[in-house]
Amino acid sequence: MAQPLEKVDRRDAKLALAHLFVAFTALALGGFAGLLQTLVRSGKFELPAGISYYTILTTHGVLLGLVLTTFFIIGFQFAAVSRTTGALSDGSRRTGWIGFWLMTIGTAMSAFFILTGKASVLYTFYAPLQAHAGFYIGLALVVVGSWVSGFAMFAHYARWRKTHRGQVSPLLAFMSVTNMVLWLVCSLGVAATVVFQLIPWSLGLTDRVNVLLSRTLFWYFGHPLVYFWLLPAYMVWYAVIPKVIGGKMFSDSLARLAFILFLLFSIPVGFHHQLLEPGISPFWKYVQVVLTFMVIIPSLMTAFAMFATFESYGRSQGATGLFGWLRKLPWSDARFFAPFVGMLFFIPAGTGGIINASHQLNQVVHNTIWVTGHFHLTVATTVVLTFFGASYWLIPHLTGRVMTKAMNRLAIIQTIVWAVGMTFMSGSMHFAGLLGAPRRSAFSTYSNSPQALEWIPYQIAQAVGGTILFIGIILILVIVINLAFFAPKGETEFPVAEAAAPYERAALALENWKLWIGLVVALILIAYTVPIIDIIQNAPPGSKGYKLW
């Protein structure tokens, strides 16, 4: 068994890099689609050659929401596992490559059907909109590929535990495994609707689909999906940022407990996306709203831990007063600055999430562009800026290069551009949403409504923000290409923080997977069994659907 490495093994580095390249290619294409969307919604621009707004919107959502995130996360986690628990075995690495190719082939297949206008069903692919079967089969391959990669990580972690009996596993490996367990359990829902409902229906093997069941299975997956995106950002905050600033992690056990709480409470909450849907009893909606408020707790713990880390470091450097520690943080280091701005944006982003989850308030914002504003703050700012910040050390670490001062300066500018663009875009989305502006709609569908006049200034602000963000995308691509191919050769550290109190017995209990997975299954059964039986037993005849191809 290989010993823990200070560096990621070269062969594992290739596997991680392959994932990151697909992720950043998706960012380039999906970002361009996003620019076109905001221009169309401003009412001042029309797409050429009869291209549908919904084709562009689907391209944007699938490439950024599903492809960029999943590839970045799996690549990052392979690197994290290899760095902290030693080189992958040949078997695990081969399994990782199989997962990568399945995901890549699936992505190419789905992208083909989206770009040829046969799958303009948006990233949530709600029935009764029907795409070409090839789109769903492509998505199924992406999910199966990600499972294969997850199994490679589980096998590697299990080997480590076997050879290190009684020891607490390295934090980043524990976190990667927790995130993959969460992903595996939640993606069973989307796999079920795709394989048993949508593929047979789009192939014409069944002529109707139970719409409510498919949406329920989608959201069983859809909310934990957002925590699958968030947790790798939290890995960077907990386990990397303290080292980058020169301090120590506040508490290793607290970080592990937060991850276990995410595993327990992120899945049985999908109904908070369906609060306004008929056919689900108010009682079960209420139960899931309560569970949604439980899943806020680990984020509050994370906020506490980050403040504690920053403050302890600042005080160790002589800071005094309530906020004196802020001055001691390394503002000119892009590895810190980008994730920190992500944290800052998570304060209003999380507040918006709490508003969404508050049953009655959801009626004000549901299906308005407020929700789009919410997820551009969460995933497209907090998560994505943290991924960018991680790329500033991860890519040069994997390619054997170093980031120059000029690139670091460009990365600081990139972060500022992103923050300004997102303030315009997401801010105006929130305001327009409160005025009732719908989400997921081309300008032409509501331009004749008298209310649209009120929304137009905000839509122009969105286009301004979208254009600034597109500049941000060009900047990050310049930096990534430089770090991958042109930066000077050298050694870059993969920073891993030490905990302030290194050995905490509680951490061992948090690796009792039988207990945690058992509890996850119990919570899911409590939250979903009765409502799903209801949805099946009281199903209307089903919808024939709207074929989009």
Which of the residues are catalytic?
Answer: 223, 227, 374-376, 439-440
Under rule CB under 6 A, residue 353 binds ligand HAS: yes
Determine contact, residues 387/27, Cβ cutoff 8 Å.
Answer: no
Residue closest to 69 by CA, chosen among 103, 108, 94: 103
C-alpha to C-alpha distance for 107 and 95, rounded to whole angstroms: 18
Report the C-alpha dihedral over residues 292, 297, 303, 304, rounded to 10 degrees.
170
For the chain, helix, strand, coil in percent to 5 are 75, 0, 25
Residue closest to 419 by CA, chosen among 468, 349, 476: 468
Residues in the interface with ligand HAS (CB under 6 A) total 34
- Candidates 23, 173, 230, 385; binder of ligand HAS (CB under 6 A) is 230
Helix (H) or strand (E) holding 129, with range, is: strand 129-130
Given the complex with ligand HAS, which of 356 and 415 has the nearer CB atom?
356
Region of 201-209, 254-262, 373-381, 404-412 interacting with ligand HAS (CB under 6 A): 373-381
Under rule CB under 6 A, residue 497 binds ligand HAS: no
**Residues with Cβ within 8 Å of residue 65, at least 6 apart in sequence:** 123, 379
Determine contact, residues 388/476, Cβ cutoff 8 Å.
Answer: yes
Under rule CB under 6 A, residue 399 binds ligand HAS: no
Given the complex with ligand HAS, which of 132 and 376 has the nearer CB atom?
376
Under rule CB under 6 A, residue 374 binds ligand HAS: yes
Minimum distance from residue 420 beta carbon to ligand HAS (Å) = 18
Q: Is residue 491 classed exposed, middle or buried when 0-12, 13-18 and 19+ CB atoms within 10 A define those classes?
A: exposed
Given the complex with ligand HAS, which of 344 and 530 has the nearer CB atom?
344
Locate 161 and state its tokens: 């535990």
- Candidates 1, 203, 300, 519; binder of ligand HAS (CB under 6 A) is 300
- Candidates 140, 217, 306, 394; binder of ligand HAS (CB under 6 A) is 306
Given the complex with ligand HAS, which of 300 and 533 has the nearer CB atom?
300
199-210 burial: b if 16+ Cβ within 10 Å, else e: bebbeeeeebbb
Given the complex with ligand HAS, which of 272 and 401 has the nearer CB atom?
272
Minimum distance from residue 235 beta carbon to ligand HAS (Å) = 13
Under rule CB under 6 A, residue 344 binds ligand HAS: yes
Under rule CB under 6 A, residue 297 binds ligand HAS: no
Residue with nearest beta carbon to ligand HAS? 350
Q: Using only C-alpha atoms, what is the Rg of the chain?
A: 23
Binding residues vs ligand HAS (CB under 6 A): 124, 226, 229-230, 272-273, 292, 295-296, 299-300, 302-303, 306-307, 326, 343-344, 346-347, 350, 353-354, 356-357, 362, 365-366, 371, 374-375, 378-379, 383
